[in-house]
Amino acid sequence: MRSLWREWARIRNRLAAQRRVLFLLDFDGTLAPLTRSHSEARLSAEIRSILSALRRREDVRVAILSGRALPDLRSLVGLPSLYYCGNHGLQIEGPGVSFSHPKAASMRPLIQGLAERLERDLARFPGSVLENKGLTLSVHYRRVPRAGIESLRRLRDALQAETSDLPVRWRDGHKVWEILPGVRWHKGAAGRYLMRRMARSFPVALGDDTTDEDVFAAVRRRGLAIRVGPAGASQADYYLGGQSQVTRFLRGARAALDTKA
């Protein structure tokens, strides 16, 4: 993985040479800074302006891929004509697309039962937040006092063992752990779904979390895969040093595309 800025001139020219570009963008930690509470995340005015300008181009499509619930994601971004991929891509809405993974949808009662169990168990952990997104669950623990973290981890391990015979997957993220339906689908699968629909588009993926590695793997050797954060082991081709550099990249990408006009 290489610094994007060290090769920016070549990358800029490569973007400018594309007939069509598909942006596959994570939300939390990428488009918006991570916050103490997931409910506090906001887009900057400049990033919203850039996304709005990109969506108006006939040669560009923009997709937001997130673990958030679809209505939450659409409300936070607030722009029409984008592709919104919620619940790690289990639901996709956008121009000409309305997709919900059928097997995951059939597992709503199971997920709801686990949510009710978690609500009871998490009541003794001040600062923890259960986010019930219908198809998936997220337990946010960024605000849990340090003294309670080890007990919370033991609860997680016990629950994971108890549900080992159920068709669910457990996954860790930034100060969050998640329960997802055990289906062969993730952000990378959602990215491939959109790439197939927008054939011959050049994909550009940005993300900061382990859940974005599937998108990077789908994009590699076909486009640009860019990790937001320090250099390290990743499926991405390049890295940006932190979330604050995302605006600079999107601004530069927009300028590169404008050279075609």
Q: Dig out the tokens for 223 from the structure.
A: 């486009």
26 part of the active site: yes
Enter the DSSP assignment of 77.
H
Q: Are 140 and 176 in contact (CB under 8 A)?
A: yes
Nearest to 130 by CA among 155, 147, 107, 105: 155
Please provide residue 91's backbone torsions phi and psi, each rounded to the nearest 5 degrees: -130, 135
What are the tokens at 238? 């390049």
What are the E-state strand segments in 18-96? 21-26, 60-65, 83-86, 91-94
Residues 6+ apart with CB under 8 A from 15: 21, 202, 204, 224, 253, 256, 257
Q: Are 86 and 68 in contact (CB under 8 A)?
A: yes
* CB atoms inside a 10 Å sphere around CB 22: 23
CA gap 108, 89 in Å, rounded:
16
Report how far residue 241's alpha carbon sits from residue 189's, in angstroms, rounded to the nearest whole number: 26
Burial 130-149 (b: 16+ CB within 10 A, else e): bbbbbbbbbbbbeebeeebe
One of 26, 72, 208, 212 is an active-site residue; which one? 26
Per-residue tokens: 199: 């054939």
So which residues are the catalytic ones? 26
